[in-house]
Amino acid sequence: MSGDEIDYPALIHEALMGVVRGVLSQVAEDGFPGDHHFYLTFRTDHPEVVMPSGLKVRHPETMTIVLQNQFWNLSVEEELFGVTLRFGGSKHHLTIPFEALTSFIDPSAEFGLQLGTSTLEEEEVEFGESREGQSTGAAGSAPERTGTVIAIDEFRKKTE
């Protein structure tokens, strides 16, 4: 791209990441307001993702986590966020760079952002456990999709 062009796709992508960063920061500081909760899908094969090897083996490309009832130590930095979740009865900490995110959904607000090229049908879902310790879902099932998902891929310049 020449210096005479404005990189709108990059600006849109950074703005969308800013939305996700902002709401995660708000939740880290104040907790969830009302019934809000998030489905966050990310690329497990991103080199800066830090997660237990057993989860990475079960989800070699993508994984969806749910931030709702049981999560701990949510911290948000400029380039990444970290959170502790319960998987199979044990707590594990995940560190996820914002660049690894492919989608963000808040079903209670009927709001979603498509941040990458994968689709929900292709993604595996790993649900944590509810307050009562019961599973909130099963791996491989897709979250209920409602609302509008904004895909930024159509704004990206195609490379040959």
Residue 14 has φ and ψ, to the nearest 5°, of -65, -35
- pLDDT of 65-91, one tens digit each? 999 988 999 999 999 999 999 988 899
And the tokens for 111? 């709001």
Q: Is residue 151 part of a domain?
A: yes
pLDDT of res. 119: 37
Q: What percent of the chain has pLDDT over 90?
A: 64
Residue 1 lies in a domain: no
pLDDT in tens, 90-133: 999 999 999 999 999 999 999 999 987 433 333 444 444 433 33
Q: What CATH number does residue 90 fall under?
A: 2.30.30.220
Q: How far is the C-alpha of 123 from the C-alpha of 41, rounded, in Å?
A: 8
| Number of structural domains in the chain | 1
Residue 159: per-residue pLDDT: 54
pLDDT digits over 3-30, tens only? 789 999 989 999 999 999 999 999 999 9
DSSP letter string, 72-137: EEEEE-SSEEEEEEEETTEEEEEEEEGGGEEEEEEGGGTEEEE-SS--GGG--B---B-TTS-BS-
Domain that holds residue 68: 8-155
Q: Looking at the domain assignment, is residue 133 inside a domain?
A: yes
